[in-house]
Amino acid sequence: MPLTTEARSLLDMAYRVGAPRFHELSVAQARRSFEKLHFVFRGEPPPVASTAEVPIPRADGSVLLARLYRPLDSHPGDALPVMIWFHGGGWCVGDVASHDVSCRELCNQSGCAVLSVDYRLAPEHPFPAAIHDARLAFDWTAAHGGVLGIDPERIALGGDSAGGNLSIVTALALRDDGLRQPRFLLLVYPSTEMLSDRPSRERYAEGYFLDRGTLAWFFNHYLPDGNTEDWRASPMRATSLAGLPPMLLFGAEFDPLVDDCAAFAARVRAEGGDVEYEEVAGMIHGYFTLGKCFPEARASVSRAAWALRQRLGVTTAERGQD
C-alpha cells in the first residue's frame, strides 16, 4: 500500500524546504531534534502503579541508570515478569525520557513490569559500550529480582531500532556463554546489519526519514573503527542464529531496514527458531513510539503487549483482574 496520510504529512514536515537534514546536525542538535519529535508526536503518558529510578553499579564504580515501571493494576507484592527495554536512536540519541510513553503503554497493556535502560551513547561512548550496558542490565536484573519485585525466571528483552539490535546481541552473547536466555524478544525494526545491499536500502535511501546520510551518521559515530562485520554490531553476521528465544519482529514497509528485518526473521526461522514477523503497511522507521501521529503505532503496541502476556505467562491475578 502507499504511505499513510499521516506518514506522508510527517515526512513533508521533516523535509520542508530549508530545514537541515538530521545528519547535518551536531550531536547535541540531533539529540534535541529527536527529543522534540518524540515529545510532540508521542501519545499522552498513561498513569502506572509506580516508577522507580534504578541505579545499576558498574565494576568501575560508575552507575548505569534505568527506570522501572509497574503496571497500573498490579499488586505491590507481586513478583511480576519484566521486559528490559533498550530505546532506539542509532546508539547516539534517545534516552529513557524519549521512550517513556511507549514503556508505560507496554507495561499497562501487558501486565509486565518494564525496566527501561539509559545505556551509554556514542560518540562519547562508542561500540561496544552500549553492548556492555545491555548485558549488565540483564545480568543484574536476573540476580536482583527480589529487590525489583520481579520474577527472574520471566524476563524478556525488547527495543526499537538500535535497541532491537542490543536485544539480539545480548541474547546471542548469553547463548554463547551457555547462560539462561530471556524468555522472549520484542524487536521493533531492529538494526541487524550495518552494511546491506538488499533492495530496500536503495529504494528508501532518500526521503523516508531514516535516509542514507542519517544511517551513515549513526554508524560512523557508533562504530568509528568501521568493523561492520563484527556480529556484535551486525548480528546477521553471527555464525548461527539458532537457540535464540521466541521473538516478535516488526518491520515497517517504507523503512530502508525492512528487507534486513525480513531476512533476519527468515534466517532465524530456517535455523529452527520461533519468530513471528509482521510488516506494518504504510509505515516508516520510527513509527512505533509516535502514537499521537500513527494509529498503527497504537495497534503495534497492543499487539506487542499481547505477545508479552502470552510469552511471559502473565496471570489474570497479576493483571489485577481477579
Catalytic residues: 161, 255, 285
Residues sharing a CB contact under 8 Å with residue 225, sequence separation 6 or more, in sequence order: 127
* Spatial contact of 319 and 73, defined as CB atoms under 8 Å apart: yes
- Alpha-carbon distance 187 to 246, whole Å? 11
> Which residues is 80 bridged to in the sheet?
150
Name the grid cell of 286.
520510527
> Which residues is 277 bridged to in the sheet?
249
Judged by phi (left if over 0) then psi (alpha if -120 to 50, else beta), residue 313 lies in left
* Spatial contact of 91 and 30, defined as CB atoms under 8 Å apart: no
Name the grid cell of 90.
542509532
- Alpha-carbon distance 224 to 247, whole Å? 30
Residue 43: count of CB within 10 angstroms of its CB: 18
* Spatial contact of 158 and 84, defined as CB atoms under 8 Å apart: yes
> Which residues is 114 bridged to in the sheet?
69, 83
- Say whether 15 sits in a helix, a strand or coil: coil
